Amino acid sequence: MLDLLGFGGRGWGLQLLQGMGMTVLVAVSAYLWGLLLGGMAATLKLSGHRGGRVAADVYTTIVRGVPSLLVIYLLFFGGNSAATWVATLLGFNGPVELSALPVGILAVGTVSGAYSAEVLRGGALAVPHGQVEAAKALGMGRWLTFRRVLLPQTLRYALPGLGNVWQLTLKDTSLVSVVALVELMRVAYLAQGATRQPFLFFTTAGLLYLGLAGLSGRLFARAEVWAGRGVRRAAR
């Protein structure tokens, strides 16, 4: 039975590895997109601009209040219907289907961004305000203060929380399988359908996710040590 996981003849090993590669690709891209989106939302939330603050609050509240699966369905099916509508305006006929990969990354990243926003906001608030004033007193401009004082420390404070968001994003990528993107979960589903061995393949998929989570967790722990070098701790 285990030869089904191998790389020869009947084995699904290669497909599983490719699926895992796709999972990592979707997770990393979505996470980065989420960081960008979350960074912008956090900046808006902390800015004095009222409209921006409300917009960012609406984004994080809505996205964190509805299931990720619904966000994926909305962007995928809604995106398809919007694209079809635009295509009709341009004189094309028939339904348009968007490619699952970019839409999946966009959807998972949008969810990830809402969580990142809160983590980054908390990190920025942890930077002592006196430091910003000191930077100003030294004649640093807003951008320079942001780049040299605020950003590095925000990232350090936010790192543990960002690690949690990463784990969340990694697990959320499995939902993209429902819109037929061939990532790890989808490969496992196809494989069990072909071989009638659901337990074997879903256990394997679970173990691979476990491996990815463990490996990336270790990377984040390392990053925390690196970011915290030279910082005295209250307790250890």
Partner 1 sequence: MNSPLLSALMAALPQFVSGTWLTVQLVALSLLLGLVLATLVAVLRLSHLTPVSWAARGYIHVFRSTPLLVQIFLIYYGLGQFDAVRQSVLWPLLREPYWCAIIAFTLNTGAYTAEIMRGGIEAVPHGQVEAARACGMNGALLFRRIILPQAFRQALPAYGNEIILMLQGSALASIITLMELTGVAKAIAARTFQPIEVFCLAGAVYLGMSFVITRGVHLAERRLNPARK
Residues that bind partner 1 (CB under 8 A): 61-62, 64-70, 73-74, 77-78, 80-82, 167, 171-175, 177-178, 185, 188-189, 192, 196-199, 202-203, 205-206, 209-210, 213-214
Q: How far is the CB of 130 from partner 1 (least distance, A)?
A: 30
Q: Indicate the residue among 29 and 174 with the shorter CB distance to partner 1.
A: 174
Query: Around 167, how many Cα atoms within 13 Å sit in the side-chain half-sphere?
Result: 15
Q: How far is the CB of 151 from partner 1 (least distance, A)?
A: 28
Cβ count within 10 A of residue 115: 21
Torsion over CA of 183, 184, 187 and 188, rounded to 10 degrees? -150
Q: How far is the CB of 106 from partner 1 (least distance, A)?
A: 15
Distance CA 169, CA 112 (A): 6
Q: Which tokens in the block code for residue 203?
A: 């256990």
Q: How far is the CB of 70 from partner 1 (least distance, A)?
A: 6
Cβ count within 10 A of residue 11: 15
Q: Indicate the residue among 43 and 197 with the shorter CB distance to partner 1.
A: 197
Q: How far is the CB of 87 from partner 1 (least distance, A)?
A: 15
Q: Indicate the residue among 47 and 61 with the shorter CB distance to partner 1.
A: 61
Distance CA 94, CA 84 (A): 7
